[in-house]
Structure 1
Amino acid sequence: MQNDKIVVGLDIGTTKICVIVGRKNEYGKLDVLGMGKSVSDGVVKGKVINIEKTILAIKKAVQEAEDVSGIDIKVVNVGIAGHHIRSSIHRGSITRDDGEDEITVEDVDRLANDIGRMVMPAGTQIIHKMPQVYTVDYDDGIKDPVGMTGVRLEADFHVITADVNSINNIEKCVKRAGLDIENMILEPLASSLSVLSEDEKEAGVCLVDIGGGTTDIAIFHENIIRHTGVIPFGGNIITSDIKEGCMVMQQQAELLKTKFGRAISTEASENEIVSIPGLRNRAPKEISVKNLAHIVEARMEEIIDLVHAEIIASGYEGKLAGGIVITGGGSQLHSVRQLVEYLTGMDARIGYPNEHLGKSKIEQVKSPMFATSVGLVLVGYRSLDERENRYLQAKAMNQNVFVNQKQKAGKKGGDFFSKIINKTKSLLIDDFDENDDF
């Protein structure tokens, strides 16, 4: 049963490694059974740079999730991100033997498989190939061609590639931690499942996931993924700016950012001062909240300007009625929504994964910081493309019909042969009885 299926998401991020164990309840919501976190020391900007540290962090997070949930974790859905991610549009086509027959799910799969065999730049590998729109003979702009008739089937595919070494390093870490990978998913696509509504995807929306090492972008329009991008800046670079600008330790800079940081400097008071402990035998250091806000605002403006440039480059500026949805740890920065609206001129909101969550004792999972982790669990129940779900259901129905027909045919055939055998037996008995009379 689908509701009995337990799915595990593993988010290997730059600042944290998170494991979430979930199961769908009777209302179709996700019940979080367990959660585990650990500090991510071996990952920088989404790429694994220290295998051993990453393995230890994965094991620690998995153990914590197992202790809370009581589930023995063996298979996970893993997220992948980083500046090495590339996206492009490629067109594929197939020619069908008989244009009078209806286009089937198998035809659509054959077209997708052909795209999967295309030659990519050296050192890269396809992780997603998602159809945009189809063309059947001379009719274009078709979202779902199954059931139509035609000889030539074409489609534009949104192809997402990743660095082979990055993929191999993630696989190596997960396997050496004693786990198997069920799916490897681009992280902003996973986040989109947890924080975006179907209406927003239909109207047009840009998801901005501000993580520790990178800011990931995914643009949807007419319920189809149209553009993805990765900006090599995230929350960690703001922390580094504060560390250098205020001359404090890394941990102190992180606390200053999360507790007192503001994305709009005019909201900070001129007279507000934060005192932090000094180094050994040194007086406490006083930090102006106004100066802190200037540092945060400058870097956030840079990140948002790059996000806006991605939206313009995608060609969908002015088409996103759903505006911008900000999620990830960086979305929790004070006044970030207002700054996004001011710089882009688009409506914005903070994306929480609450809509898909059932009742849970683990309240922190409702934070935007865990949107990707929740999305990775949802991937185990849903496809990134809703059309694929329909195709899989259609395949299952066809297989069930075929099995039932085969069983019926076998039963009928068995009855036929049974009648022949019984008839033969009766003739033999009759012959034997006749011989006894002589």
Structure 2
Amino acid sequence: MGKNRILISLDLGTDKTTVLVGDFDDTGELNIIGFGESKTEGIEKGLIVKPNNVIDSIRKAISDAETTSGVSISSAIVNISNAHIEFENISEFLTYGTNQKEIDDTDISTLTQKISEKLQKEQNQIIHIIPKRFILDDIDEVIDPRGFLASKIQGEFHVILSKINTFANLKKVIENSGISVIDFVYNPIASSSSVLYPEEK
């Protein structure tokens, strides 16, 4: 069981704290090999009010997951809930003058980077930037613009974010429990990724 095949998920809820340990097999399928759960103390309405109690809850769930899986846990992907989250729909565009350009990944990355820079100036921590649709010149409702020729591309994105202070405090509490945060994932997205086929997501 190679270390790079292991995936740890930490779900810090108002009522319970859950840790899942998964192992990717040779076909790429994720199998759950360990589970830990504890009653969450120190969180009210999704917000941390007693950090030390939250740390104890995390450590208890981690300990149980280590026992059931036989895996030593030092880092995890953290699922976050609505209490920490805000949503915005944002548009950005790029123009290429009178010339048409074949749209590629670089153009989409530039659009998302412009959105990221704008929101970070407003003291936001971005969790996900999700493309909704693109408009290429006079062509509306393009889902995947790559490979199209256009002199202008406009992207509409659904952005999931958190205020920097709220996000930083959550991360600090988790790290103080001895767990390094690999990434944060919004709960509904984590759930859909685990149960839907790619064309359904």
When normalised by structure 2's length, the TM-score is 0.88
| Structure 2 equivalent of residue 152 of structure 1 | 152
Per-residue deviation, residues 314-345 of structure 1 (Å, max 9, x unmatched): xxxxxxxxxxxxxxxxxxxxxxxxxxxxxxxx
Give the CA deviation at 1:166: 2.4
CA deviation after TM superposition for structure 1 residue 96, in Å: 3.6
Give ranges in structure 2 of 5+ residues lacking alignment. Answer: none
Q: d(CA) in 1 for partners of 2:105 and 2:97?
A: 15
Partners of 1:3 and 1:107 lie apart in 2 by: 35
Higher helix share: 1
Residue by residue over 1:167-215, the C-alpha shift from the partner in whole angstroms, topping out at 9 and shown as x without a partner, is 122101111112211111111221222334556x4xxxxxxxxxxxxxx
The aligned runs of 1:167-178 (5 Å cut-off) are 167-178=167-178
The residue aligned with 2:141 is 141
Q: Distance in 2 between matches of 1:150 and 1:22?
A: 43
Give the corresponding residue for 1:189: 189
Residue 82 (structure 2) pairs with residue 82 (structure 1): yes
Matched, 1:67 2:74: no
CA distance in 2 between partners of 1:174 and 1:120 (Å): 23
Structure 1 residues 104 and 122: CA distance shift in structure 2, 3 A: closer
Alignment of 1:22-421 (within 5 A): 22-96=22-96, 99-119=99-119, 124-197=124-197, 201=200, 223=201
Relative distance call for 1:19 and 1:194 in structure 2 (3 A) is same
Q: Any idea what the Cα deviations from partners look like across 1:7-35, whole Å, max 9, x if unmatched?
A: 11000001111111102223443211211
C-alpha change, 1:6 and 1:97, in structure 2 (3 Å) is: farther
Q: Which residue of 2 aligns with 1:8?
A: 8
Shift of 1:143: 0.9
User: What's the CA shift for 1:98?
Assistant: 8.2
Task: Give secondary structure in 1 for the equivalent of 2:149.
Answer: coil
Q: How far off its partner does 1:74 sit?
A: 2.0
Structure 1 distance, partners of 2:84, 2:4, is: 37
Report deviation, 1:71: 1.6
Partners of 1:3 and 1:96 in 2: how far apart? Answer: 46
**Distance change (3 Å), C-alpha of 1:26 and 1:84:** closer
Identical columns (%):
31
Give the drift of 1:164. Answer: 2.8
Conserved 8 A contact 1:34-1:66: yes
Deviations 1:131-178 (A, max 9, x none): 100112221211111111212111110012223332122101111112
Aligned length in residues? 200
* TM-score (structure 1 length as normaliser): 0.42
Which deviations, in whole Å up to 9, do the C-alpha atoms of 1:321-370 show, x marking residues without a partner? Answer: xxxxxxxxxxxxxxxxxxxxxxxxxxxxxxxxxxxxxxxxxxxxxxxxxx
Counterpart CA distance in 2 for 1:159 and 1:187 is 14
How far apart, CA to CA, are the structure 2 residues paired with 1:172 and 1:117? 23
Q: How far off is 1:88 after superposition?
A: 2.2
Shift of the alpha carbon at 1:102?
1.9
Q: Give distance in 1, aligned partners of 2:133 and 2:177.
A: 40
CA–CA distance in structure 1, aligned partners of residues 3 and 63 of structure 2: 24
Q: Say what the alpha-carbon RMSD is for the aligned residues.
A: 2.4
Distance 1:150 1:159 in 2: 25
User: Alpha carbons of 1:55 and 1:99: their partners in 2 closer, same or farther (altered >3 Å)?
Assistant: farther
Higher relative contact order (CA 8 A, sep 6+): 2
